[in-house]
Amino acid sequence: MELSTIMTGADRAKVEAQVDAINKSLQDGRKIKQNLDKDDFLKLLITQLTHQDPTQPLEDKEFIAQMAQFSSLEQITNMNTELAKMSGRLMSSQAVSLLGRTVSVKDGDNIISGVVDEIRGNDFPQLRINNRFYDISAVESILSNAQGGEL
């Protein structure tokens, strides 16, 4: 039995259509990034090192500068993550301090006043006032229940 490795025009067109359909589905499934992250930077650095000309290797100063940039990028990313966690904890703490207090919140063009009787959520706390939940960022003023005056 003899196998032919030559494709007919119809077979070639069919295979090309299948390849195009697969490539299109792969492109549609990918997320389009607006910014490069530390993984992209590392991939670029590895690709650069892999494809560099052996007769003209990367200068030591350039390599050290790129590694310093990568290290800085990673530290900034880690710091941003930790700051976001700390911000969430501060908002939760602020919400807990309002429990049982009389507050005024902005609801569209209206100002609603009432006692905070429940708090939901951790990073983005919601305060229940008069059986409705409001975002903590909507708080306009806080009244001291003991003194009856505004803080």
What is the full DSSP assignment across 62-80? HHHHHHHHHHHHHHHHHHH
Total count of domains within the chain: 1
Alpha-carbon distance of 46 to 50, in angstroms, equals 6
Return the SS3 of 33.
coil
Instruction: Answer for the pair 102, 94: CB distance below 8 angstroms, yes or no.
Output: no
Which residues contact residue 43 at a Cβ distance below 8 angstroms, ignoring those fewer than 6 apart? none
Please name the helix (run of DSSP H) or strand (run of DSSP E) that holds residue 104, with its range, or none: strand 102-107
Structure confidence at residue 128 (pLDDT): 92
Q: Is residue 72 part of a domain?
A: yes
Q: For 100, phi and psi rounded to 5 degrees?
A: 85, -5
**123 confidence band (pLDDT: 50, 70, 90):** confident
Q: Is residue 19 part of a domain?
A: no
Q: For 2, phi and psi rounded to 5 degrees?
A: -110, 135
pLDDT tens, 68-86?
887 888 888 889 989 988 8
pLDDT tens, 17-48?
888 878 777 766 666 566 667 777 778 778 87
Please name the helix (run of DSSP H) or strand (run of DSSP E) that holds residue 102, with its range, or none: strand 102-107
Q: Is residue 23 part of a domain?
A: no
Q: Is residue 16 part of a domain?
A: no
Instruction: Answer for the pair 102, 140: CB distance below 8 angstroms, yes or no.
Output: no
As a whole number, mean pLDDT of residues 36-63 equals 73
What is the span of the domain harbouring residue 75? 39-48+57-151
As a whole number, mean pLDDT of residues 142-150 equals 62
Q: Is residue 14 part of a domain?
A: no
| Token reading at 71 | 């290290």
